[in-house]
């Protein structure tokens, strides 16, 4: 079995098959043909993605009953309010596949203004009169575009979204496109203990 921890760059599909000329995982990482991503990150999101050919790991990490935490760093447009943070902490209602879904409680914190992350290419648009704030959010479910929908529901559009932590693994010291080979023991210790 093979296991890799990838820092997926911005504008890369979370799949090995290209679509409409968009970059995909095979353009940035060279792994066996039976390796696939566990979960997804949207084309316009960045951050940690586990790649494996071990189907049992896929089940343990993605099935909702296991409630594995994922932490995202989110750059939002506007000075987010304490009221909005409290709403997100308690859970908000978003649309998932045309149905209303109440998100599980989340853990949020305002991040330091000078977090250490690589510049994005292309960069985020800059608007002099509208501030941006970085927020950390930890969730235990992974609905389609959930974090973006959550912040939009409280009036703060997401400008940049980075999955900063999966299990005990963190993006600190990594750059977009970096790929670390993990052992089964590292996967078990990093995600299931």
The upper half-sphere exposure of residue 119, i.e. CA atoms within 13 Å in the direction of its Cβ, equals: 4
- The residue annotated as part of the active site, out of 27, 42, 54, 178, is 42
Buried b (16+ CB within 10 A) or exposed e, 155-178: ebebbbbbbbbbbebebeebebeb
Angstrom distance (rounded) from CA 149 to CA 74: 12
42 assigned to active site: yes
Angstrom distance (rounded) from CA 15 to CA 24: 6
Cite the active site residues.
42
């Amino acid at each position: 079995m093979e296991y890799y921890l990838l820092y997926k760059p911005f504008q890369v599909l979370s799949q090995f098959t290209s679509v409409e000329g968009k970059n995909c995982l095979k353009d940035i990482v060279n792994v066996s043909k039976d390796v696939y991503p566990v979960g997804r990150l949207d084309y316009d999101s960045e951050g940690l993605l586990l790649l494996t050919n071990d189907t049992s790991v896929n089940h343990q990490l993605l099935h909702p009953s296991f409630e594995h935490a994922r932490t995202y760093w989110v750059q939002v447009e506007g000075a987010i309010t304490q009221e909005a943070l409290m709403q997100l902490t308690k859970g908000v209602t978003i649309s998932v596949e045309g149905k209303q879904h109440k998100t599980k409680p989340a853990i949020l914190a305002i991040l330091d203004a000078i977090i250490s992350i690589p510049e994005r290419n292309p960069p985020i648009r800059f608007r002099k009169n509208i501030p941006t704030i970085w927020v950390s959010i930890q969730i235990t479910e992974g609905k389609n575009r959930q974090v973006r929908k959550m912040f939009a529901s409280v009036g703060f559009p997401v400008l940049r979204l980075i999955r900063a932590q999966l299990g005990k693994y963190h993006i600190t010291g990594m750059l977009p496109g970096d790929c670390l080979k993990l052992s089964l023991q590292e996967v078990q210790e990093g995600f299931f203990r």
